[in-house]
């Protein structure tokens, strides 16, 4: 199409959209789909309820009982029971009637619904979602088309809590490839959905971005730096990255209360999709040689995945101290200092990692919030052949972790034609074990898509685990040679190594775990193409990876991952049967009820709740 033809078409599309009423726009998104994406009728009140403090001062003898369900416990026998009771945050009775009819608590009739343990995410950059500027709409990653994106934005405005002049935003995991039209909404479409508040959409981890007319007016008014906005509301990425410059202007206007609201919204979304515990791999830190946090404050060239990594958990920590956090968070520490010439010899490299290992406790905290260890890496990966100095620093980082007795990770998928990088990681782990002994430290390998059977057995012998990539469905396409895009799920599972599954949100992929579970069991990408032929696993195996195996990866298998007496009371009630739904329907699963620590933290309003003796 010629530029003139394209411009004419865009102009016509814009005119057509301007003629649409907001009512018709919402109707186009379909009421049922949007209600599900937003979490149902109860989600509008989620932050009010959470603000009241589910995890503040708790009453004694808290009890919640669910009856008449199909409760998949994921215990060693794969037991399926009809009822469960959670008392004071832990499973008290699993199967049978363990509740006290004269006691204090709630009884919920599941009416045959499927229940699974709370899902655990073993590789996410969730803190980014918890720091989004504006009134953020994380649900856009659940939209199937542009109309649903627009309806979600309009519904966010309709809640009535966005002050005049404040942005409605949607950033990160939503990319045009996810939507049927393979594009972001146009400016005119955004105007029709939200005419009286500025809107800012930001794709992936580095843009581009799109705004409505009020957003366009705002960004055209700013300076230092200025932001270029196209007539269609587009803000380009690239170099220089104008989308990042626009993001900067929103970030520097965030208050601490704004960040607390964003953190609460992120928790509500995690509960909405069924993830009750997150292993956060933090963000890719700007690799400077300083330990001064002020040098890491927002800059115009920072992407969505850059934050001040010394300060990025402050809002979450404050909410936890106030008793208002309601999703579990475990924080790993990603270190991004490679070879920095200004620091001198090897003994002076890695200043941040050295200080971390001397001054931080790993696996320290409580059941709701705790530190993890080193991950997604201790230093950027480098090979001796291509970057000798970088390799020396990477190797030293492994030695420092082993010597300090810290858990450590690396991130390497390999490829269908090469596992050399995976081999370097495993050989180094073996060398660290020979020198220091690491078997009791549970070192990990993230992704591990093409690890060979031999490599997997060597990792297993070191008591290592892997966390498998569940996100290849988004950008993966069929290879010309017919080889799988990966991971090789059956081979990894057959090895017997602890093998979790992750989505790697919230920049390159969504946070929603059902997309990853669908990919692991079908091999289909977002367009319905087979990209991982012969590499499917069963739904039971995939769910085990997202529950029991991920709990092992978090060093929390004694508390999380299955519905068993004495474990923490996290579970999810599903809107359809995960084990019997069609492949397409399984991908569309949404929880109707999510429970964390024995408290209901997401409720779509589908199930009747019988409150007793309140």
User: What are the residue boundaries of the structural domains of the chain, listed by start?
Assistant: 63-118+570-604+606-611, 333-553
CA-wise closest residue to 172 among 240, 219, 216, 124: 124
CA distance 34 to 287: 41
CATH, range 63-118+570-604+606-611: 2.30.40.10
Per-residue model confidence (pLDDT) at position 608: 72
Per-residue model confidence (pLDDT) at position 406: 98
* Topology alike, domains 63-118+570-604+606-611 and 333-553: no
Hey, is 263 helix, strand or coil? Answer: helix
Among the CATH numbers 3.40.50.300, 1.10.1740.10, 3.20.20.140, 3.40.50.2000, which is that of 333-553? 3.20.20.140
**Cα 245 from chain centroid (whole Å):** 24
3-state helix, strand, coil in the chain (%, to 5): 35, 20, 45
In the predicted model, residues of the chain with pLDDT beneath 50 are: 1-32, 40-55, 98, 613-614
Strand pairing class (119-124; 275-280) = parallel
**Cα 445 from chain centroid (whole Å):** 18
Strand pairing class (328-333; 369-374) = parallel
pTM for the model stands at 0.92
Per-residue model confidence (pLDDT) at position 38: 55
Per-residue model confidence (pLDDT) at position 35: 52
Cα–Cα separations (whole angstroms), residue 330 to 71, 367, 490, 506: 26, 9, 28, 16
Per-residue model confidence (pLDDT) at position 610: 59
Cα–Cα separations (whole angstroms), residue 287 to 205, 276, 388, 607: 17, 31, 18, 49
CA-wise closest residue to 309 among 335, 273, 339: 335
CA distance 585 to 582: 5
Per-residue model confidence (pLDDT) at position 125: 96
Asked if 144 and 180 touch (Cβ cutoff 8 Å), the reply is yes
Helix (H) or strand (E) holding 136: strand 135-136
Share of the chain above pLDDT 90, in %: 84
CA distance 427 to 424: 5
Give residues with Cβ within 8 angstroms of 158, minimum separation 6. none
Exposed e or buried b for every residue in 370-404, given b needs 16+ CB within 10 A?
bebbbbbbbbbbbeeeebeebbbbbbbbbebbbeb
């Amino acid at each position: 199409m010629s530029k003139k033809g394209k411009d004419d078409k865009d102009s016509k599309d814009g005119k057509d959209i301007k003629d649409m009423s907001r009512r018709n726009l919402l109707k186009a998104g379909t009421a049922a789909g949007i209600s599900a994406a937003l979490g149902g009728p109860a989600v509008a009140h989620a932050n009010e309820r959470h603000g009241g403090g589910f995890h503040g001062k708790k009453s004694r003898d808290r009890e919640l009982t669910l009856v008449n369900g199909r409760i998949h416990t994921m215990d060693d026998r794969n037991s399926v029971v009809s009822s469960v009771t959670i008392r004071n945050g832990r499973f008290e009775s699993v199967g049978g009637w363990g509740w006290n009819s004269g006691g204090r608590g709630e009884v919920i009739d599941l009416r045959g619904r499927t229940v699974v343990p709370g899902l655990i995410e073993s590789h996410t950059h969730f803190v980014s979602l918890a720091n989004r500027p504006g009134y953020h709409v994380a649900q856009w990653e659940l939209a199937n088309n542009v109309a649903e994106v627009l309806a979600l934005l309009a519904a966010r405005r309709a809640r009535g809590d966005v002050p005049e002049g404040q942005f409605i935003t949607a950033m990160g995991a939503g990319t045009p490839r996810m939507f049927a039209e393979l594009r972001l909404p146009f400016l005119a479409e955004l105007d029709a959905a939200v005419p009286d508040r500025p809107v800012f959409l930001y794709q992936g981890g580095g843009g581009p971005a799109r705004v409505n007319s009020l957003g366009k007016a705002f960004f055209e008014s700013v300076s230092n730096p200025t932001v270029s906005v196209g007539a269609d509301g587009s803000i380009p990425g690239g170099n220089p990255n104008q989308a990042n410059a626009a993001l900067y202007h929103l970030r520097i206007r965030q208050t601490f209360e704004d960040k607390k609201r964003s953190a609460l919204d992120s928790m509500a979304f995690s509960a909405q999709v069924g993830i009750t515990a997150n292993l956060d791999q933090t963000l890719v830190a700007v690799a400077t040689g300083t330990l001064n946090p002020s040098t890491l404050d927002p800059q115009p060239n920072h992407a969505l995945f850059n934050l001040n990594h010394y300060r990025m958990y402050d809002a979450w920590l404050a909410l936890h101290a106030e008793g208002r956090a309601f999703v579990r968070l475990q924080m790993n520490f990603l270190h991004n200092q490679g070879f920095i010439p200004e620091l001198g010899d090897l003994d002076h490299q890695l200043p941040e990692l050295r200080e971390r290992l001397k001054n931080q406790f790993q696996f320290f905290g409580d059941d709701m919030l705790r530190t993890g260890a080193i991950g997604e890496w201790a230093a950027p990966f480098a090979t001796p052949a291509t970057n000798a100095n970088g390799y020396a620093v990477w190797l030293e980082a492994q030695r420092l972790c082993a010597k300090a007795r810290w858990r450590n990770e690396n991130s390497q998928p390999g490829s269908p034609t090469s596992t050399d990088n995976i081999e370097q990681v495993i050989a180094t782990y073996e060398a660290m074990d020979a020198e220091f002994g690491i078997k009791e430290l549970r070192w990990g390998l993230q992704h591990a898509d093409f690890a060979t059977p031999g490599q997997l057995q060597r990792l297993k012998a070191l008591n290592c685990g892997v966390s498998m990539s569940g996100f290849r469905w988004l950008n993966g396409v069929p290879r010309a040679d017919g080889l799988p895009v990966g991971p090789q799920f059956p081979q990894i599972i057959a090895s017997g190594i602890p093998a979790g599954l992750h989505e790697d949100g919230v920049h390159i992929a969504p946070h929603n775990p059902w997309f990853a579970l669908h990919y692991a069991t079908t091999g289909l990408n977002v367009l319905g193409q087979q990209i991982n032929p012969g590499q499917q696993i069963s739904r039971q195996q995939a769910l085990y990876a997202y529950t029991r195996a991920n709990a092992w990866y978090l060093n929390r298998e004694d508390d999380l991952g299955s519905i068993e007496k004495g474990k923490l009371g996290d579970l999810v009630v599903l809107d359809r049967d995960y084990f019997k739904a069609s492949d397409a329907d399984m991908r569309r699963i949404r929880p109707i009820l999510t429970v964390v620590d024995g408290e209901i933290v997401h409720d779509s309003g589908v199930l009747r709740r019988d409150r007793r003796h309140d």
